[in-house]
């Protein structure tokens, strides 16, 4: 069984430390890692935010957050006392001199420690935060800076952000976080592909008919509608999460598990993506926006109702991605993501080709092609469908049945969630699970082409009823290729 290895003593500063991400994800994740004994004595977690709070008031705020987002049995008193002793708070406005000297004074006595600066703020503040950290002498060889997605809203703005941060931090010190890369099942993709001789010889255009990647959300935009209307599904999900999943499925075997080797192979995939042009965009993409409907028997409003205005912003996108290289030429990758879909789920479906010829005759029933389903959430695990004979004396009947691996059943322990793993990798100084700026650039180059093609082709969003799997055009996208979306 894997063991939890302690990290070095550190100072972790969370900018936006009173915000939703910090309270809902980061601080509970850090509590779990402290609970498992990974934090050495003296390690500190410092929140920086504009709110006028005392340290005690901030500690109370964290306690309430942990009570909300952790199970009661996880919040033990002894771990809480240890964790609370690590917490500190500084009132700081990123855009003014207020508070910076105080923060610098808190870090100054521990120059030799790992310093991690987590920017849980809007991307437009990334460059200014890096500048202020440098100006007040807080950037040294042991400093790391973590950038939350999205890094920019297009290729140009991503360049600006990366250049601004890069003036003060080396690329090796910059960690662009995508929490999907920290998920256990995503981590297992490398083991699945490169540690099993059974699969790797089949992992190519000759044996795989197509690949489907779905990231479905049942929630709407809610009070984030104004923010979401500036981004949309393509920028919010496809540019980062889904293209990273595509890269891990499609990349060649890296020379090693070293971060540079892995990143090099992912970048090759991104550069091999066939551009989607105004001539091809209507055949290869679908845009949708949810209207009022019902999910789980509960009525929910449409996107325009939540926004309070009409909008052409997509809340659903499906597309066909073609990788023009030796391994994948002719094997399409279908991607779809959206809000207000029937359920929250993320999965990768590897659809193998059918056997060349059936020797069993029509009476035996249909001969389904093998399928590998990799479940990212919920119920992380993998399922491989195999064709077998039904037992009994009633003739030779074939049936497709699953070989199922559930992580929760196979490993009887609570394993770290994505943010827990990623935070520990930052503190260890391992950038393998984070995006290099060249990856960001290549991803935005492809996404910008789709956005421009939508504009040039005047391609509107199609409505879909909340609680369904998107607009009709999504199904037509695969039907045009004589395929269909996988549904359990």
* Residues taking part in catalysis: 241
Alpha-helix residue ranges (DSSP H) falling in 430-486: 437-456, 472-479
* 3-state SS class at 387: strand
For 81, the token pair is 């006392």
Q: Which of 205, 117, 198 is nearest to 165 (CA)?
A: 117
Neighbours of 425 (CB within 10 A): 20
For 452, the token pair is 């421009």
CA distance 65 to 145: 24
- Token pair 């993709």 in the structure block, residue: 189
CA 121 to each of CA 36, 49, 445: distance values in angstroms, whole numbers, following the listed order: 28, 10, 24
* 133 phi, psi to nearest 5 deg: -60, -40
* 350 phi, psi to nearest 5 deg: -100, 110
Neighbours of 12 (CB within 10 A): 25
For 79, the token pair is 């771990």
CA distance 437 to 162: 7
């Amino acid at each position: 069984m894997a063991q939890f290895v302690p990290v070095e003593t550190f100072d972790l500063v969370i900018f936006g430390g009173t915000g939703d991400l910090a309270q809902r994800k980061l601080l509970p994740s850090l509590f779990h890692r402290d609970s498992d004994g990974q934090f050495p004595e003296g390690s500190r977690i410092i929140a920086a935010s504009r709110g006028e709070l005392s340290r005690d008031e901030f500690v109370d705020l964290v306690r309430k957050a942990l009570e909300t987002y952790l199970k009661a049995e996880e919040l033990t008193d002894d771990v809480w006392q240890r964790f609370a002793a690590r917490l500190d708070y500084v009132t700081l406005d990123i855009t003014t001199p207020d508070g910076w000297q105080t923060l610098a004074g808190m870090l100054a006595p521990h120059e030799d420690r790992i310093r991690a600066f987590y920017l849980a703020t809007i991307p437009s503040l990334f460059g200014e935060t890096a500048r202020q950290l440098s100006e007040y002498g807080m950037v040294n060889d042991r400093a790391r800076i973590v950038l939350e997605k999205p890094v920019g809203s297009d290729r140009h703005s991503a360049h600006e952000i990366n250049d601004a941060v890069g003036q003060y931090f080396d690329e090796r010190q910059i960690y662009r976080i995508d929490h999907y890369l920290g998920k256990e099942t995503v981590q297992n993709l490398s083991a699945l592909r490169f540690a099993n001789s059974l699969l790797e010889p089949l992992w190519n255009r000759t044996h795989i008919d197509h690949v489907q990647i779905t990231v479905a959300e049942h929630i709407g935009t809610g009070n984030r509608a104004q923010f979401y209307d500036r981004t949309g599904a393509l920028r919010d999900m496809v540019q980062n999460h889904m293209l990273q999943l595509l890269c891990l499925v499609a990349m060649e075997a890296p020379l090693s598990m070293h971060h540079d080797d892995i990143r090099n192979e992912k970048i090759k995939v991104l550069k091999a993506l066939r551009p989607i042009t105004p001539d091809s965009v209507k055949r290869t993409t679908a845009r949708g926006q949810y209207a009022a409907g019902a999910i789980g028997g509960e009525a929910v409003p449409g996107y325009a109702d939540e926004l309070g205005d009409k909008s052409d912003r997509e809340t659903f996108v499906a597309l066909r991605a073609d990788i023009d290289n030796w391994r994948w030429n002719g094997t399409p990758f279908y991607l779809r993501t959206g809000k207000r879909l029937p359920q929250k789920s993320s999965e990768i479906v590897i659809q193998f080709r059918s056997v060349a010829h059936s020797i069993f005759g029509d009476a035996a029933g249909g001969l389904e092609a093998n399928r590998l389903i990799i479940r990212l959430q919920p119920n992380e695990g993998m399922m491989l469908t195999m064709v077998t004979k039904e037992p009994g004396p009633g003739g030779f009947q074939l049936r497709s049945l699953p070989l199922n691996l559930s992580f929760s059943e196979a490993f009887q322990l609570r394993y770290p969630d994505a943010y827990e793993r990623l935070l520990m990798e930052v503190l260890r100084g391992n950038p393998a699970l984070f995006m290099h700026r060249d990856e960001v650039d290549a991803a935005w180059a492809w996404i910008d082409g789709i956005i421009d093609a939508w504009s040039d082709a005047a391609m509107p969003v199609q409505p879909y009823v909340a609680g369904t799997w998107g607009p009709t055009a999504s199904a037509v996208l695969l039907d045009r290729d004589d395929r269909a979306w996988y549904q359990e």
